Structure 1
């Protein structure tokens, strides 16, 4: 099993109603499987805030062990078994819509 400590920062904290959560995932877990688990717990709004066209949304920052997930594999970023995994999900505001 892979243990992950998830920290929610900004508007995403309102969506889930908490600041931190510890989650256990099967071996071979990825950021994608973690987000899938979070969506199953907290609903579609979480998915709508974090993903665009099946990828991480540009307005959301996701750090995996201190590294921006976009720079280390995106949703395919592996969560390592046996090491302390920390994922920080930051959503500072909704995407700006304009015209």
Structure 2
């Protein structure tokens, strides 16, 4: 699915609407078989709980937080989104 999203992005940038349409239909089929994705609010709540649990205070503590968060969101949230949120929340404290 991740590869298809990347391909879709490239096809749309390149103006290849015919290929993009095929990828979109494949994604619709594959989505039926994926586990339900967590909402942004649910992911942020998990991250905040992990920050409290680990006592993380700076972006240097990102590894500790990710170690707690990753098993909870694996397959249910995009890893890049999770990492960006962790980094953002730690930088804001």
> TM-score normalized by structure 1?
0.27
Q: Which has the higher helix share?
A: 2
Q: Which has the higher strand share?
A: 1
Tell which structure's C-alpha radius of gyration is larger: 2
